[in-house]
A and B are shown apart, each in its own frame.
Chain A
Amino acid sequence: MVALSEPTAPVAGDRRGRARQTTWGLALLLLIAAWASLATGAAGVSLSEALGRLISGEGLSLQDRVVLGQIRLPRLVTGLLVGAALAVSGAVMQGLFRNPLADPGLVGVGAGAGLGAVAAIVLSGLLPAGLAAATGMYTVPIAAFVGGWAATLILYRVSTRAGRTSVATMLLAGIAMQALAGAATGLLVYAADDSQLRDLTFWQLGSLAGASWAKLAVAAPIIAIALLGTWGLARGLNGLALGEATAAHMGIPVQRVKNLSILCVAAATGAAVAVSGGIGFIGIVVPHLLRLATGPDHRNLLPNAALLGASLLVGADIFARLVLAPAELPIGIVTALIGAPVFLWILLRRRGLLDM
């Protein structure tokens, strides 16, 4: 299905140079997005002025310090990590499943995290008082992360027999798992009161507004380690593109690649969803855009996906908080609203190129 149709003698030319250029371009884009994210917002705080005052030792006003240090900076870091996590997870899943539609949802992490979050929103009143007080505003992120992991573990057990994970079984079981989690979520939605309904609707639309250093202290190391883990997957995923048997003959430890892929995706996506809710489309659009531009080689695809995913999510977040200022739009709406038409346009213009 993948790359096999590509002739051995390069026709379109070696794309490694182009990939390297793309990486530099994306790194620049990321810097611009990060600067814009720190410099813009509903509160009129000027970043250059604030930096100038910091350097000259004058100190910042309390409001400027809170806006820059407690709101915009944690929000930027969260956006970078979540965007990178979603885009890289999408690329890994599409490589592992050899399916252009694959996304982290297929390892159950999305549905499981959603169920966990909704359960926490609706049932938090039933928690023992001590536990509720201890977890406080972190109940929902913790429940989302645990739910995502639980779903992935169950799926992994279902589709692994005699030390061999069947990707096809996982795909089908993943769909069953999504339906099951959807039903359980539906039951909870039915039991919820109106303010809980509002809360869980907003959670499902995703937002970076709740970003804080406390949440990042837990989520950032998990996402960072998972992303570094995918670094070692590139060669294995390239081999898998030729089919499992061929990859094994090439000396690629197929089962280890599968295990590491599932582990990294579950960790990165689970932590991303826990801090920001459900943000769709980044995991589909970003890898495909890059495959169109620089080809399916995962050695380029994975790092470039991290850069582009981070830039796109930070950009979408700038839009989400400026368009209705001082109110803000859930970011999941923005990513889908901008991402989907752009994606359709590319499909129309370059039909056929997506048959990976």
Chain B
Amino acid sequence: MHKSSPTQNRLSQFRRTLFAGAIAASIGLGISAPSLAWEPTKSVEFVVPAGTGGGADQMARFIQGVVTKHNLMKQSLIVVNKSGGAGAEGFLDVKGSVKDPHKIIITLSNLFTTPLATGIPFNWKDLTPVQMLALDQFVLWVNAETPYKTAKEYTTAVKAAGPSKFKMGGTGSKQEDQIITVAIEKLTGDKFIYIPYKGGGEVAVQLVGKHVDSTVNNPIEAVEQWRAGKLRPLCVFDDKVMPYNAKVTATQSWADIPTCKSQGMDVDYQMLRGIFMPGGVTKDQVAFYVDLFKKIQATPDWKEFMEKGAFDTTTLTGDEFVKWLTKEELRHQTLMAEAGFLAKK
């Protein structure tokens, strides 16, 4: 797909715009979508390259629920967890299912990090990109009982304590949480003890129990502990504040959390929540899923889910998505090379 000629690209872009327009119109007018050239003829397997209960799994099961609730697909959508080897099991499974249109996969940052860190024979180009659903934010959290009110105060304390005194908890090793931790260390010259855990929910609870000093949990993993007054968000690793103004706690909303950049920590990292298909599928087949996810994103349930998890709702499809992926792969390569996380060849 990424090797097609410019004219073809323009043509497909044109087709896609036409499609999107038609779909938008049909949703707007409340009539059923035009009959598409391809439709699933059997149940669709929805692979989650992560364990049950994590962020990607929650989103996949939520999508499954929305599809069922609003009857968006004639065949059923079946969520299958293939978490082995930091998601490598799932990626290799989809890579091996060339031309199978009844299989889709939801990805997280391990789309880039797992092959780089383990050297497994996989690259996102082995798959067909369908759509970026959203970007997940990362927030720096501390226990609410600690005196640190701002990220500056916290980093000052880390610096004052000397290297390897403060513990940063995170999900997995050589993955997004540790990449962010290393990026912070690079900027501030501090050194954390990074402790890897199996899941994001566990990490948040370890912070509540004060077994670690800080975490970079995704909003949805820590929001309840924040509401209960157990955790305190210090800053978000994005170049702009989150757009959600509704109060989450009595006094604060997501929008009240400053960017880490404004706190002197210029780290900007979001995690992809995207949908891919196996390689070799036809345009019509991809179009079906693009359309399906458009419908899902139009539901009120989805909007509520996005707000609860303070997601960045940027959506990309087609060439723009491919462009983003290419850029992001390069970025991960640099970040991980700097951190010394690349697999030994």
Q: Do A and B come from one complex?
A: no
